Every structure is written in structure tokens, then in C-alpha cells.
Amino acid sequence: DLQIIKKNEKWPIFTTRPDTLFGVTFMVVSAQHPRLMELVTDKQKKEVEKFLKKIKSTSEKELEELEKEGAFTGSYATNPATGKKVPVYTGNFVVADYGCGMVMAVPAHDQRDFEFAKKYDIPIKVVINPLTYELNAEKMTRAFTTHGKIVNSPGFDGVLSEDAVDEMGKKFGRKTVNYKLRDWLVSRQRFWGTPIPI
């Protein structure tokens, strides 16, 4: 869970890569999140509303192909691994029904986050290096998304990222399994067309 500073309460976050937790430099809340406006400060309200109006008329398929965009909410969260404040944005690349509609952003190791960070001049922090060379955050032209050796993560430096997933997960969170079950009849209609009425 991430501590939202403005509200002084913990909000759940979702990650499939706990090995990159020390590299979180910002958070992104879905534009459809039911509590989004609670995070928006008076100073940022106009900017966020302008962004929401812009994406309201865009379909989900179009959003996937669009440039990664967003707006700063004015709020900050505390990274549980580093204790540092990170800005909270709303963005067009996080959907409300993925995880909890709020994701940590690790630009050095996620391509969508990388593009967003470059656009809004957000710091990029490398926490996983390839086994054969070291990355330079300032010279990166794309995110490094595969496994390697952990760096810049006190207590975990030098550990292989595959091994760090479980260790960091136990220290900073809990493992859960999410199931996506749909009614069989509806799924069948979607796949095969309308069934014979009974």
C-alpha cells in the first residue's frame, strides 16, 4: 500500500514487478478512478478537468494507440521502499479495472512509464542492470524491461531480479491471485455469436 500524503491514508497499489519498487518515481491513477478528484488540489483542478474532458470522447481502443498523456493531481505519495515523496498523476494509459486503478510507475523498466516520464520530465531511476553492462538513465532511449541484477535498492543490491521478486514482495506487500471469471453464456455469445435460445 502507498501512503497518499494529501489524504494521510493508505491507498492500495498494484504491481507485478516488486523487484522494481525502489525505482518508482511517480504514480498514475486511472482517469476513471472513482476517487480521483479527492487527490486533485485546487491549484491543479483546471488542468485535470481539461485532461479528463479531452479523453472522455476517446474510445478504449484509441487510447491504447495514443501518445501517453496525463495531468499532475497536485498530490504526492510516499514510496514504501524509499520513504520518498513521488508525484501522483492521472493518465490515459491506466484503466480503472486493472488492479485497483492505481499503479506505481517505474520509467526505467516499463515502456509506457518511460514515454510518460520523458514527456513530463519526470526522473528515471535505474534499479535493474543487464548482467553484462550498466545502464545510464540519462542516455536511455527505451525502458529495460527484462530481468538482470538489482542496483540502487539498499538491502537487495547484487541480487538477481528474479530472486528479488519474492523477497521484496514479502517485505513491502503481499502476494494475491486475481481471477477474471465471466459468465460462460456471455463469453460464449461473445466468441461464437448468439446461442440457440432455450
pLDDT tens per residue, range 38-87: 999 999 999 999 999 988 866 665 656 678 899 999 999 888 888 899 99
Please report the DSSP string for 32-75 in residue order: T-TTHHHH--GGGHHHHHHHHHHHHTS-HHHHHHSPP-EEEEEE
pLDDT tens per residue, range 97-121: 766 788 889 999 999 999 999 999 9
| Residue 78: predicted pLDDT | 87
Q: Work out whether strand 9-11 and strand 2-4 pair parallel, antiparallel, or are unpaired.
A: antiparallel
> Using CA of residue 111, residue 93, residue 101, residue 98, what is the dihedral sign?
negative
pTM confidence score: 0.79
Residue with cell 499503479: 103
What lies within 8 Å, CB to CB, of 32 at 6+ separation is 95, 96, 101
